[in-house]
Amino acid sequence: MSTKREGAVTFKGGPVTLVGPEVKVGSKAPDFKCLNVLSPVTLADTPAKARLFSVVPSLDTPVCSMQTKKFEDALKGLGDSVAVYTVSLDLPFAQKRFCGAEGVTSMTTLSDVHNHSFGENWGVLIEGLPLPLLARSVFVVDKSGTVTHAEYVKEVTSEPNYETAVAALKAAV
């Protein structure tokens, strides 16, 4: 039985319940099993270096698109010193199409559509919507697998704090 955090965030002004524990700074990054196109990816499959996980409800919405492109632009200069991921419940094919159409090349997409393990293990799966979605959030994990930054955006339709996330990622390099 998963933890449920009622009213943890709002979606279009109304409180929603998030399934899973709140991931806190200093804790070990939880595992997950997502898809990058058709290849399974777990936490252990991500490189042991500073990693940013940008979690969005759907890439085909304006704020999610903006979030992905802003992180893409802000982090391009860090090159191979970091690994950057966009996580959503979008189908892997939709994620690939979005990245191709928008010129997103330095972020790797992870689809949690298969079993929602990222959503449940990282405490970002929104319960009770007609269509499952992940709550907007940003996590930074250092090379040892420790969470060094965690932001659950209070209103899912709002943007995250890019500056603090980028600063945390740079500090974890």
- Please compute, for residue 34, the number of CA atoms within 13 A of its CA located in the half-sphere on the CB side: 30
Q: What gap in Å lies between CA 69 and CA 9, rounded to an integer? A: 23
Q: Which amino acid is at 105?
A: T
- 14 token code pair: 């109304």
DSSP string of 66-94, one letter each residue:
HHHHHHHHHHGGGGGGEEEEEEESS-HHH
Q: Which of 19, 35, 64, 110 is catalytic?
A: 64
Whether 64 sits among the annotated catalytic residues: the reply is yes
Q: Would you please indicate which residues are annotated as catalytic (active-site) residues? A: 64
